[in-house]
Structure 1
Amino acid sequence: MTAQNSLHILPRKRTRFRGMVESILHHKNPEQSRILLQDIRLLISGKLVIQSQLFYLSRKFQTMDLQLGDQVEFDARIKPDRKGISSNSIRLNYPTK
């Protein structure tokens, strides 16, 4: 199955995911701080979607007081990855909660 075909079978709307916190990168400019989530799966089916992806460390992630190895659930949209920020040909956009 090609990456393009796998994109078609994934939901196109905002969906719930679960991932594990691999690292938190704090920057002196808080807007550039990032969080690396690994083993990102669809919450409903448990299907692996992306091995790892960097996200901005948003206020919502900051208020969760996450530690390395924590499991985090969030909503996001699935899009094709043209920037190369995920470990797959798809990426997750606009994570919330």
Structure 2
Amino acid sequence: MKEMKLFLGPQHPGMHGNASVHMFVDGDIIKRSYLLPGMLYRGFEKQMERKLWVNNIALIPRVCVPEPDINEMAFASGAEKLLKLEIPERAHWIRMII
């Protein structure tokens, strides 16, 4: 079978800079792969270590520019569980819509 190159990462050509993986496959066997970390990694984790959780909310959308909503949801629900906070019913319904 002929070797084929698969590209896993942002699919829009304007989304360069994000992490991606280039895989070379022969049928269902991966022959080799290369991780391209991209140029958008700016050490958010290290920046967030030194701040209060409430101050990190503004950084969360910048972690992954193409899909910020899911990161905000994960951070907010994680903080709520750690702090044992209950969200209002309206917030629950808004999250279901998003």
TM tier, shorter chain?
under 0.3
TM-score, normalised relative to structure 2? 0.24
Higher alpha-carbon Rg: 2
Higher helix share: 2
Higher strand share: 1
